[in-house]
A and B are shown apart, each in its own frame.
Chain A
Amino acid sequence: MSEIAVLGQQVWRENGCANCHSVLGLGGHAGPDLTNVISRSGPEYSSQVIRYGIGIMPAREIDDEEMMHLVAWLTHIDDQAIYPVRSFPDGSFGAQR
């Protein structure tokens, strides 16, 4: 994981994102899983949702630098796995890319 992604992980934790959202199905289940949010919705749309909120999700006060870090971390996670999956890949468990 790059240093910028590590900083993004810190932003994720400081803002308590895991209380409502999961990554690889681990975390809160009130909101959607965010494992592949970047490839599904793109970094721009994701940033807007984080900044202004949507539905029951409140707007977050995150500055541009923190947002860049957070998106870098979500991009790193997106590169790691596909989730959810219908079945495990042949020969092993897991959903690695």
Chain B
Amino acid sequence: MMEKLSGGPFIPMPNPAPVYIILSAIGFVFAAVIGLQGALKLVLPPEMTSWMAFELLRPMHTFLAMGAVLAGLFGLVEAILVKHTGKQGHPAFLILFATFLLVGPAALMMGQGTGREYFPAPLWVSAILLPVLFSQAWRLMSAHKMLTERSPEGFWLLGFGALFILLAWMESHLRLLEPLLYSFTRDLSVQWHAIDTMFAGMNTVLFGTVMFMMSARPKPLRPWVLFAISGFSVLLTFGHHHYVSAQPGMIKTLAVIASMVAILSLVRHFIAWRKAQGTSTNPSYLEPVLRSVEFWVIISVLSGVIFAIPQINLITHGTYLTLIHAMGSMIGVNFLIIVLGALAFSVSPETVRGERIQLGVRLTNWSLGGLWLVLGASGLVRGIMRIEHEYFEFQPIREAILVGFPVAGLVLSAGIWILCLEALRAQGLVLDRHGIKLRQSAH
């Protein structure tokens, strides 16, 4: 991942790509603000936070974070498609996506949420997104020849990722069918398969975009057996999210095997990270972002493998350890790759401030480290003490530890805001005393 960036120092990002990136930055900023409120709600006395409803904050935070990642990857995919095919996406899909991002929180505020963990928006909101997902997947498949010439591996990652996202989005609505409605265990299996596939899809697309930001020489396709192994891993790890439920033993066994296969990925990322030390990028302000991405990929995969070991899972499952694993992946990997892409596919590189990026990355890294400590300690207390003790016996210890949660959350928010601002500047959004303007790209 840390090869020299090339293809000319900058590729002008066409419309609607910058608009997607702007939507992504706005989504991340709002998600951070709401997440911070949620963290405060957990530690402040109830009478001070009675105006905040946690049952509203959490689904809004989840919806906006996932929406922001989707917006970011759509923007990067658009930029790649326009660069290599010369064809822009139809603005109708951009309008549909913006509508989805806007009406989703509104529907949640009106009490129309599904009450589910990762797919909180109601069916009619999901339906708005579906044509956008179909369109992205279709456009990628239609451009397979040109994209494969540029980067065979990059195209496979983009194509598979787009399909995974589309399938996961549809799978998440199987909950409406009777066999799932009347079986809690089946519902859990399908729900977590959809969530796992969704996150895998988003990661796969984002890794694919990085392939197109890298060196000009085409990245050859790896042996098909590696794709088969990763497909096996991606599609079957879901069972480790609820080893404790009554899902069939075969699913659990396959989940352990599939989760342990991720060790191969971990070794590969570790080697890439070692190689990356000391290499330079053009422009140089991308280096801290790239290094951070490599680091957090390793932490994410490593923690995922460890938490999937059944006996360790007994402690980590159902605690904040799994939350920080997910946050580390969402911010350290997904968010930073989107920032990287926004900077690499910049419309106005001269406005990007390297020292601000350095600061934003540092704040993000330190806060994620702090969150690992705070949420990890809280998770361990719960995971270990819940066996022998009642919740109200260990809750005071957790509350004392969680005081650090909003503090780290505030630093993380600052890092996200700074990086989003630089991403917006890179995309030609000018904010000055004369107002807000969007600088147009060369296309």
* Docked-complex contact B184 and A83, CB < 8 angstroms: no
Most chain A CB within a 10 A radius of its CB, from B46, B243, B319: B243
Chain B, interface residues (CB within 8 Å), range: 35 or more
Q: Which residues of B contact A13 (CB under 8 A)?
A: 114-116
A20 in contact (CB, < 8 A): yes
Compute how far the CA of A29 lies from the CA of B399 in the bound complex, rounded to whole angstroms: 12
Contact with A along B350-387 (1 / 0, CB 8 A): 00000000000000000000000000000000100011
Q: Which residues of A contact B245 (CB under 8 A)?
A: 24, 80-81, 94-95
Given contacts A25-B317, A26-B117, A29-B318, is CB(A19)–CB(B55) below 8 Å?
yes
B345 → A minimal CB distance (Å): 36
Contact with B along A27-60 (1 / 0, CB 8 A): 1111111000000000000000000000110100
* Docked-complex contact A87 and B46, CB < 8 angstroms: no
B170 in contact (CB, < 8 A): no
B185 in contact (CB, < 8 A): yes
A15 → B minimal CB distance (Å): 7
Q: Which residues of B contact A77 (CB under 8 A)?
A: 184
Compute how far the CA of A83 lies from the CA of B72 in the bound complex, rounded to whole angstroms: 39
Chain A, interface residues (CB within 8 Å), range: 35 or more
B242 in contact (CB, < 8 A): yes
Compute how far the CA of A17 lies from the CA of B111 in the bound complex, rounded to whole angstroms: 13
Compute how far the CA of A94 lies from the CA of B240 in the bound complex, rounded to whole angstroms: 11
* Docked-complex contact B249 and A94, CB < 8 angstroms: yes
* Docked-complex contact B55 and A16, CB < 8 angstroms: yes
Q: Which residues of A contact B56 (CB under 8 A)?
A: 16
Instruction: Name the residue on B nearest A77 (C-beta).
Output: B184
Using a CB–CB cutoff of 8 Å, the interface residues on chain B facing chain A are: 41-42, 46, 50, 53-59, 111, 113-117, 181-185, 188, 192, 241-247, 249, 252, 310-311, 314, 317-320, 323, 382, 386-387, 391-392, 395
The 3 lowest CB-CB distance pairs between A and B, nearest first, are A25-B318, A13-B115, A16-B55
